[in-house]
Amino acid sequence: MDIYVVETGALSFADIEGYLSCVSPARRKAVMKKASDCDKVQSLIGGLLLRSELSRLTGLPIKRIGFVRGAHGKPYLYGGDAQFSLSHTKGAVCAAVAPVDAGEIGVDIELRDRKASDRLKERVLSDGESAVVKTDEDFIRVWVRKESFLKRIGIGVSTDLKGADTAFLPDTADFPCGAYRIGASGKGAAAAEIHMISAEELLSRFTPKSK
């Protein structure tokens, strides 16, 4: 499993709007539905990142990368030649990709210094986790593991988070990445490689529509 991270904090949507032509109509529609400039940036960068890394992994031309939805709405690569998962948080987008024979995968990224309310902790932590989580960063480590696992199995955080106890989640790990913490779930998750890509490098792989 490879995980690619792009920091987006320095980008404005006006700077990258021309790259809408490089993603699918469905992604363009999703981008434009976002209310804030920041959310539009993250959605567009996420779409570009997925297309780029799935093309690199499969050998398919970027323009031939397409997606379908599973039973619970989880997206899959059309043709099924690779597994992937996408996540974002304030200032960054990350994508995990793996060969199709790796099985389902999931990824999550969060700011390491994100503050968690007592109410959120009560909703998320099992009794065993509550006994060992002492700091907000401890909580974030638990959170990214849970969310990456639930995304892997195609459910997401709408399910009972307490029931996904991190002491028992198979093939699930977390990693520090600068200001962020990344959770990964799937075959070989503990050995996942993290690659930082600048926004400039990512955008250089595409030809935007001229204004």
Per-residue pLDDT, averaged over 176-204, amounts to 95
Quick: pLDDT tens for 48-64: 999 999 999 999 888 88
d(CA 185, CA 95): 12
Residue 42: inside a domain, yes or no?
yes
> Looking at per-residue confidence, does 193 or 210 come out higher?
193
Residue 97 lies in a domain: yes
Provide, rounded to the nearest whole percent, the portion of the chain with pLDDT above 70. 94
Domain residue limits at 96: 2-203
Q: Is residue 211 part of a domain?
A: no
210 found inside a domain: no
Question: Residue 77 is part of a domain; what is its CATH number?
Answer: 3.90.470.20
Count, in order, helices (H) and strands (E) of the chain.
7, 9
pLDDT digit string, tens, across residues 71-91: 667 788 887 689 999 999 999
In a domain, residue 14? The reply is yes
Buried b (16+ CB within 10 A) or exposed e, 162-186: eebbbeebebbbbbebeebbbbbbb
pLDDT at residue 200 is higher than 80: yes
Residue 158 has pLDDT above 60, yes or no: no
* pLDDT for residue 116: 87
Number of domains, the chain: 1
Rg (CA), the chain: 17
DSSP string, 172-191: EEEEEETTEEEEEESTTGGG
Is 194 contained in some domain?
yes
Question: Does residue 208 sit within a domain?
Answer: no
DSSP state of 164: S
Residue 209 located in a structural domain? no
Integer Cα distance of 11 and 187 in angstroms = 34
pLDDT classification of 38: cutoffs 50, 70, 90: very high
Q: Does pLDDT of 206 surpass 90?
A: yes
